[in-house]
Amino acid sequence: MGKSTGFLEYQRVNRPALPPLERIRDFGEFHEDLPEDVRKEQGGRCMNCGVPFCQSEFGCPLHNLIPEWNDEVYCGNRPHALSRLLKTNNFPEFTGRVCPALCETACICGMDSLEAAVSVRDNELELIEAAWEQGLMEPVIPAARTGRQIAVVGSGPAGLAAADQLNKRGHSVTVFERDVRPGGLLMYGIPNMKLDKSIVERRIRKMELEGIEFRTGVNIGTYLPGEKLLAEYDAVILCCGARRPRTVDTVDEKTPGVCQAMDYLTENTKALLLSAKGPVHRPVISARGLNTVIIGNGDTATDCVATAVRQGAASVTQLVRKPRPADTERIWPYKSTKEKTDYGQEEAEAVYGRDPRMYLSTVKELLTDEKGKLCGLIVRQEEKEIRIPCELLLLAAGFAGAEEKTAAAFHLSLNEKGRLGDAACRTSNPKVFAAGDMRLGATLVVTAIAEGRTAARAADEYLEGYTNL
């Protein structure tokens, strides 16, 4: 333990963020790094508990060795800190940006208040970014190859983690992605201001240099039969996500102006990526000048709020089915039920002068103009009905499971929850494994990485009879 009294002497300091009205001018990341001496102090706040709940089942799904690398950060031993971090986490640059930091909710420093927890996520992100800048993330090519060929279908966090692990083992890995760029959810589902796409591309380049092949624009089950993969590869790992959206009973999705949230976010990211290489491209679906309503209260809904604000929506309203959370006492190590104001709501309030959320509200009826386009909503809020203008309605009501066609391509069936695979990521075909959102349903990036690692172990054991992953 580098500083035995650090948690008493140093206060938590978060990475500074640009003010809302400044950061909404573009889609760039808006947090800044702390000075080196302050970052060391933040590492020194770690108590090195006898039982570190931050890396237990209450904290990190990856079981990151958090006290160990916090200690090394405080002592200034960056190479050792990096080695401990990468031992359990393939992509700290992703989790350091988008993980909800379950480790911090389980931190003993934060027993009384989350504001006192060790800033684990920020420490992690600063550590890995410094490693990239200092040239410590050079490609590592396996010294020998096993001769085994493995196909990974899907290049989201689970697929990338599985591919990375199996490549380190010496297997030859090919990753198939149906979109034009690899990255899956990381590339298209998470807005650029939370995870800049250059960060994803940087990691993909490193993996390619280490020997992993990426084949994009290939839709398994449509353009490439599953039987072909089974014939050409020794094992197949399906990491195809849970993209089948939940529907809203009172909303006709065929109405012009109604859109699924993930389609909306994807189109905005594609426009940004195209604009980076030439003239400015406008997204196919845009909130610019429109009264925009989002149904949902999760991270995707918040991302839609923030994206609509940046696009210049006339107004932004977020319909939340549940009541406003009560400001109750936090029971450690579980999260408080206190209302959370995320970056999107903060930005909407700064622009429109109010919190965009309407609690205990549902859509009763869609209103359309003479051309059949959406022009308003009848919203039921508690016992009253409210008419609000709306030309763009975004559905962020969650996901109902994986798409059936990919599983069917391998003659596999999803269960009643739309999922595939058992706890060890195995399927009824011993040659096929499933991981990530496809196995668990929509979950966190950090959990998906852990899933990919589990699937890699299972596939490696199937191929070699044992595993050292």
Pick from 340, 321, 426, 337: nearest CA to 379: 321
pTM above 0.85, yes or no: yes
Confidence of residue 466 (pLDDT cuts 50, 70, 90): very high
Confidence of residue 153 (pLDDT cuts 50, 70, 90): very high
Domain 249-397 of CATH type 3.50.50.60:
yes
Q: What integer is the mean pLDDT of 142-161? A: 97
Return the pLDDT at 112.
81
Confidence of residue 10 (pLDDT cuts 50, 70, 90): very high
Query: Is the model more confident about 50 or about 60?
Result: 60
Give the model confidence (pLDDT) of 130-145 as tens digits. 999 999 999 999 999 9
pLDDT at 287 over 80: yes
Q: How far is 105 from 85, CA to CA, in rounded Å?
A: 19
Amino acid at site 176: F
Return the pLDDT at 310.
97
Q: What integer is the mean pLDDT of 298-325? A: 96
Structure tokens at 297: 């209260």
Give the model confidence (pLDDT) of 334-355 as tens digits. 666 667 889 999 999 999 999 9
Q: How far is 283 from 311, CA to CA, in rounded Å?
A: 10
Q: Which CATH number fits domain 149-243+400-464: 2.60.40.10, 3.90.550.10, 3.40.220.10, 3.50.50.60?
A: 3.50.50.60
Return the pLDDT at 53.
92
Give the model confidence (pLDDT) of 112-128 as tens digits. 888 899 999 999 999 99
Q: What integer is the mean pLDDT of 149-177? A: 98
Pick from 158, 212, 60: nearest CA to 453: 158
Q: Which residues of 282-321 are buried (b: 16+ CB within 10 A; e: fewer)?
A: ebebbbeebbbbbbbbebbbbbbbbbbbbbebebbbbbbe
Domains 6-133 and 149-243+400-464 are alike in CATH topology: no
Give the model confidence (pLDDT) of 171-202 as tens digits. 999 999 999 999 999 999 999 999 999 999 99
| Token pair 């992509």: residue | 91
pLDDT at 83 over 80: yes
Neighbours of 28 (CB within 10 A): 10
Q: How far is 320 from 48, CA to CA, in rounded Å?
A: 40
What is the CATH architecture assignment of 6-133?
Answer: Orthogonal Bundle (1.10)
How much of the chain, in percent, has pLDDT values that exceed 70?
A: 97
For residue 4, the Cα-to-chain-centroid distance in whole angstroms is 34
Lowest mean pLDDT among 43-47, 53-57, 159-163: 53-57
Confidence of residue 111 (pLDDT cuts 50, 70, 90): confident
Q: What are phi and psi of 258, to 5 degrees?
A: -100, 135
What is the helix, strand, coil percentage profile of the chain, to 5?
40, 15, 45
Return the pLDDT at 330.
67
In the chain, what are the domain boundaries?
Answer: 6-133, 149-243+400-464, 249-397
pLDDT at 72 over 70: yes
Taking all residues of the chain, what is their mean pLDDT, rounded to a whole number? 94
Confidence of residue 57 (pLDDT cuts 50, 70, 90): confident
Structure tokens at 290: 């429109």
Lowest mean pLDDT among 107-111, 248-252, 365-369, 456-460: 107-111
Confidence of residue 50 (pLDDT cuts 50, 70, 90): confident
Return the pLDDT at 419.
95
Return the pLDDT at 1.
63
Q: Is the dihedral of CA 437, 440, 443, 449 positive or negative?
A: negative
Return the pLDDT at 345.
97
Query: Is the model more confident about 405 or about 332?
Result: 405
Q: What are phi and psi of 271, to 5 degrees?
A: -65, -40
C-alpha angle 64-67-71 in degrees, rounded to nearest 5: 125
pLDDT at 41 over 70: yes
Q: How far is 325 from 336, CA to CA, in rounded Å?
A: 9
Q: Is the dihedral of CA 346, 350, 351, 356 positive or negative?
A: positive
Confidence of residue 358 (pLDDT cuts 50, 70, 90): very high
**CB-CB contact of 184 with 436 (8 Å):** no
How much of the chain, in percent, has pLDDT values that exceed 90?
A: 88
